[in-house]
């Protein structure tokens, strides 16, 4: 599972050949959340509200890249890194 970005202690990852809908995994402080790329809603798991807000802000800036990387991961290809939230 490639880590595609990291910021403020948050790890953003995608699994190869993962189930729909298109999503990414966010890990922070021992918690994990699965975030839908299209809606940016947490669809499974949970993390602190402050971290969730940072993740949503980052994902809004990189939504098109996230969709491209979702397709790459479906094809078992490794995506590049995405710039962290600044």
Concatenating the DSSP letter of every residue in 23-56 gives EEEEEETTEEEEEETTT--EEEEE--HHHHHHHH
pLDDT at 5: 98
Average pLDDT over residues 21-25: 97
**Parallel, antiparallel, or unpaired for β 31-36 and 42-46?**
antiparallel
Q: Does residue 82 lie within any of the structural domains?
A: no
pLDDT at 17: 84
Q: Does residue 80 lie within any of the structural domains?
A: no
Range of the domain at 17: 3-74
Average pLDDT over residues 55-73: 96
Q: Does residue 85 lie within any of the structural domains?
A: no
CB atoms within 10 A of CB 16: 14
Q: Does residue 47 lie within any of the structural domains?
A: yes
């Amino acid at each position: 599972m490639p880590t595609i970005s990291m910021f403020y202690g948050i790890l953003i990852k995608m699994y190869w050949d993962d189930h729909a809908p298109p999503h990414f995994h966010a890990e922070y402080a021992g918690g994990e959340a699965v975030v839908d790329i299209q809606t940016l809603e947490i669809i499974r798991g949970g993390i602190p509200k402050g971290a969730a807000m940072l993740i949503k802000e980052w994902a809004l800036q990189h939504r098109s890249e996230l969709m491209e990387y979702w397709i790459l991961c479906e094809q078992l290809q490794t995506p590049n890194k995405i710039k962290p939230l600044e």
